[in-house]
């Protein structure tokens, strides 16, 4: 088996102090490691200086998914505490004939409690709202139905009772820092449906985007609703045998048209984050043209993948042996990427969701 397919080849040592627990004081003042694939050189900037890397006619592609407060807490009928982690934004259920006084939503959730719930049991979220366990889907996953009082919309319930679903490597209570709801969200977030932020976009400010626009750089959105599977560890020693999770994507006709026109006119396509890369590369056809799409994306990118759309990538620093690390390695090479990571660690960069950024440019 070649090294690029071995899971152990993607391990690196990261001191715990380099795992960011809070974002930088200002979004665009995080650090930026720039790797130039043409020259092989590394440069160190601050994120607001990224404007110097663009040329007029380049196109910035952003994932406009919006994180919702997906973690809820309640009590079982026995009185025991339970956590309900919604794995996607629940879908409305048509009103029934026997309970017209309530509104219902269904979806999948991870349930955590001292003892596993029974099928048909309920978890009370407050005095008026509860969820019903409909189907056990193993390993803590359940199909549930949220039953809400008519006075409570789903959004208002989540706003009142929900908690920002911070990644497990952030070792603090999300309720302990009031700004998480604002900072664990991109400034251009629009389409509600993610349980994790597309974190490369957290560094952008509206002012920085306006500066790029004034410099002749276009921006277009795609949507990929980041799911809980983004945190799922890879178990296969041969990474080619891993099966990646599916996530819902949308690319509009106007976005596809502008991406195609930019490629034809010689501009660079800049993808903000690995989620944007997956959405774009999933939706390209055999003639290397991007198509509008509404679909579930299960594209798994590892070294050897031939990129059809993306020229440059803005991304954060990723966990060892993760599918996100494989994707970035496919763009610049595994050994090169790990060399960049070692330099970032030596320079005391901050890693993961609230950490610093990296740009891979051609």
pLDDT digits (tens, 9 = 90+) for 51-103: 999 999 999 999 999 999 999 999 998 889 999 999 999 998 877 644 567 88
Cα-Cα-Cα-Cα torsion 157, 159, 165, 166, nearest 10 degrees, comes to -160
Q: What is the reported pLDDT for 176?
A: 64
Residue 174 predicted with pLDDT over 70: no
| Cα atoms in the Cβ-side hemisphere of radius 13 Å centred on 348 | 1
Q: What is the reported pLDDT for 175?
A: 62
Backbone angles phi, psi at 144, to 5 degrees: -125, 165
The whole model's pTM is what? Answer: 0.92
CA distance 117 to 274: 36
Contacts 24+ apart (CB under 8 A), 118-123: 121/76, 121/77, 122/76, 122/77, 123/74, 123/75, 123/76, 123/82, 123/84
What is the layout of strands, in order, in the sheet containing 59-63?
Answer: 42-46, 31-36, 357-361, 312-316, 269-272, 59-63, 218-224, 247-251, 293-297
CA distance 72 to 310: 37
Q: pLDDT category, 19, cuts 50, 70, 90? A: very high
Measured over the CA atoms of residue 340, residue 345, residue 347 and residue 351, the dihedral's sign is positive
**CA 134 to the chain's CA centroid:** 28
The lowest-confidence range among 73-82, 145-154, 284-293, 336-345 is: 145-154
Q: pLDDT category, 281, cuts 50, 70, 90? A: very high
Q: What is the reported pLDDT for 232?
A: 80
| Residues 133, 144 contacting (CB under 8 angstroms) | yes
């Amino acid at each position: 088996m070649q090294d690029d397919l071995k899971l152990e080849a993607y391990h690196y040592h990261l001191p715990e102090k380099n795992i960011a627990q809070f974002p930088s004081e200002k979004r665009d003042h995080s650090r930026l490691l720039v790797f130039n694939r043409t020259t092989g050189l590394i440069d160190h900037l601050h994120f607001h200086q990224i404007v110097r890397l663009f040329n007029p006619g380049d196109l910035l592609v952003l994932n406009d998914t919006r994180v919702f407060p997906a973690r809820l807490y309640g009590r079982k009928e026995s009185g025991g505490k339970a956590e309900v982690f919604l794995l996607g934004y629940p879908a409305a259920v048509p009103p029934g004939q026997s309970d017209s006084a309530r509104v219902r939503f269904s979806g999948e959730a991870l349930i955590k409690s001292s003892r596993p719930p029974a099928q048909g049991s309920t978890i009370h979220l407050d005095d008026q709202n509860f969820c019903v366990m409909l189907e056990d889907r193993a390993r803590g996953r359940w199909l549930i139905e949220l039953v809400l009082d008519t006075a409570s919309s789903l959004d208002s319930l989540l706003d009142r009772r929900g908690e920002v679903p911070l990644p497990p490597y952030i070792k603090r209570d999300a309720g302990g820092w009031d700004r998480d709801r604002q900072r664990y969200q991109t400034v251009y977030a629009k389409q509600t449906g993610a349980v994790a932020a597309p974190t490369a976009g957290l560094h952008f400010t509206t002012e920085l985007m306006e500066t790029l626009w004034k410099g002749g750089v276009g921006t277009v959105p795609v949507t990929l609703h980041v799911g809980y599977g983004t945190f799922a560890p890879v178990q296969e020693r041969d990474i080619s045998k891993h099966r990646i999770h599916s996530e819902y994507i949308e690319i509009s006709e106007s976005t596809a048209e502008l991406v195609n026109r930019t490629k034809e006119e010689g501009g660079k396509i800049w993808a903000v984050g690995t989620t944007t890369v997956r959405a774009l590369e999933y939706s390209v056809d055999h003639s290397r043209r991007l198509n509008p799409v509404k679909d579930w994306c299960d594209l798994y990118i590892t070294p050897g993948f031939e990129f059809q759309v993306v020229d440059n990538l803005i991304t954060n620093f990723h966990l060892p042996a993760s599918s996100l690390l494989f994707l970035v390695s496919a763009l610049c090479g595994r050994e090169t990427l790990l060399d960049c990571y070692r330099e970032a660690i030596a320079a005391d960069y901050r890693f993961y969701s609230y950490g610093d950024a990296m740009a891979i440019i051609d």
